[in-house]
């Protein structure tokens, strides 16, 4: 049996800030406490899937940088609440760098591609 590589997930400070200040704030204001906790847990579970399969994300075409290649996975909780987890993979170090948590309703020019 082939053993899969386990990647370390590093969330940059700007991504953590956006998650704390914008995403969690929106969730707590827009959903019941129980549903907000459920969404937060779903978010964490989805993020952890990158530890074993970081290539699963789609290439983020809105970030026009050749290297690294940015990818995203989508958390869709309702038709009005979708969040892209933006990241790139450092294969040589087995690291996934999460650079942004981005609402699909936001202006794409606000997407953060660097730490």
CATH of the domain at 33: 3.30.2310.20
Structural domain includes residue 45: yes
Residues 69-105 pLDDT 10s: 999 999 999 888 899 999 999 999 999 999 999 888 7
* pTM for the model: 0.85
For residue 19, the enclosing domain spans: 8-106
* Residue 113 banded pLDDT, cuts 50, 70, 90: low
Kindly report each contact of residues 28-35 with a partner whose C-beta sits within 8 Å and lies 24 or more positions away, as own/partner.
30/81
Burial class (CB in 10 A: 0-12, 13-18, 19+), 50: buried
- Tally the domains of the chain: 1
Structural domain includes residue 36: yes
């Amino acid at each position: 049996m082939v053993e899969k590589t386990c990647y370390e997930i590093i969330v940059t400070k700007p991504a953590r800030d956006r998650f704390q200040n914008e995403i969690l704030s929106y969730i707590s204001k827009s959903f019941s406490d129980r549903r907000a906790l459920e969404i937060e847990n779903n978010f964490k579970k989805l993020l952890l899937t990158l530890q074993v399969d970081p290539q699963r994300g789609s290439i983020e075409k809105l970030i026009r940088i050749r290297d690294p290649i940015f990818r995203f996975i989508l958390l869709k909780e309702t038709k009005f609440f979708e969040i892209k987890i933006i990241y790139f993979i450092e294969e040589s170090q087995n690291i996934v760098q999460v650079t942004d948590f981005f609402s699909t309703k936001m202006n794409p020019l606000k997407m953060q591609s660097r730490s």
